[in-house]
Amino acid sequence: DTAVSQTPKYLVTQMGNDKSIKCEQNLGHDTMYWYKQDSKKFLKIMFSYNNKELIINETVPNRFSPKSPDKAHLNLHINSLELGDSAVYFCASSSSSYNSPLHFGNGTRLTVT
Amino acid sequence: TQLLEQSPQFLSIQEGENLTVYCNSSSVFSSLQWYRQEPGEGPVLLVTVVTGGEVKKLKRLTFQFGDARKDSSLHITAAQPGDTGLYLCAGALSQTGANNLFFGTGTRLTVIP
């Protein structure tokens, strides 16, 4: 069984469109995250939710809006997509305990044309 | 400038050789984690170090946390092709609050059979 699953795996879309990426975890974790990995493989946190409440919101354009309907899900909606949004987006989860490891999904490769 | 700089950025070695990857910062971290990422997948945790000077071994991999908790190293003995991947260090700045990990710039290792 997949621990952290995100869909779709690949997403190709045109500038200006709105798209969503879904994420689900079955590990019973209470904290979920969205990370962005750029073309140089640098991984940067975008958002973190604990028990459906936003606790980290790094400098991310307002076009990006996370939504957590419950503890097991954290979706990412992106409005008015731009070329610079092209990247691999990773969902992750962890327990809220100190030093808890992150469990990552396999990523969604977003290509904006 | 990134919070955590890794060196080297790329490393290509022959099977059986030894190597060391470095993770450096001017900031003090409460803990540091090492992850390995393979193509098309998310990062997977290898180890967590929390005490200055701590050394942990995972088979042929040896991890060390600097005495001042500002840096870490990963040493691989007798590298195998299966060690090929992107190695990422990630530091936590706080013991409380959000599990906000800052990832390093990454080291892409290729082990040639």
Residue of B nearest to A32 (CA): B99
Write the pLDDT tens digit of every residue in B57-75.
999 999 999 999 999 999 9
Please indicate whether, in this complex, the C-beta atoms of B108 and A41 are within 8 angstroms of each other.
yes
Q: Is the pLDDT confidence value at B96 over 60?
A: no
Lowest mean pLDDT among A1-10, A18-27, B62-71, B73-82: A1-10
**Is A90 within 8 Å of chain B by CB?**
yes
Sketch the domain layout of chain B as residue ranges: 5-112
The Cα A32–Cα A51 span in angstroms is 9
| Chain A residues inside the 8 Å CB shell of B90 | 102
Per DSSP (E only), the strands in chain B are: 5-7, 10-14, 19-24, 31-37, 44-49, 55-58, 61-65, 71-76, 85-92, 101-103, 107-112
The answer to whether residues A70 and A84 touch, using CB atoms and an 8 Å cutoff, is no
Among candidates B42, B92, B98 on the partner chain, residue whose Cβ is nearest the Cβ of A90 = B42
Q: Is the pLDDT confidence value at B35 over 70?
A: yes
Q: Is the pLDDT confidence value at B15 over 80?
A: yes
Would you identify the CATH topology of the domain B5-112? Immunoglobulin-like (2.60.40)
Write the pLDDT tens digit of every residue in A78-99.
999 999 999 999 999 998 877 7
Write the pLDDT tens digit of every residue in A26-82.
999 999 999 999 988 899 999 888 887 887 777 789 999 999 999 999 999 999 999
**Is A56 within 8 Å of chain B by CB?**
yes
Which two structure tokens, joined as six digits, stand for A92? 């992750």
Please indicate whether, in this complex, the C-beta atoms of A104 and B105 are within 8 angstroms of each other.
no
State mean pLDDT over B72-84.
97
pLDDT band at B28 (very low <50, low <70, confident <90, very high): very high
Q: Which domain holds residue A86?
A: 4-112
Q: What is the pLDDT of residue A57?
A: 74
**Is A51 within 8 Å of chain B by CB?**
no
Q: What percent of chain B has pLDDT over 90?
A: 86
Q: Name the one residue in this structure whose structure tokens are 């990832």.
A: B103
State mean pLDDT over B28-38.
94
State mean pLDDT over B89-113.
84
**Is A34 within 8 Å of chain B by CB?**
no
Q: What is the pLDDT of residue A26?
A: 96
Name the domain count of chain A: 1
- Domain with residue A71: its CATH number is 2.60.40.10
Q: What is the pLDDT of residue B81?
A: 96
The answer to whether residues A11 and A21 touch, using CB atoms and an 8 Å cutoff, is yes
| Chain A residues inside the 8 Å CB shell of B96 | 98
pLDDT band at B99 (very low <50, low <70, confident <90, very high): low
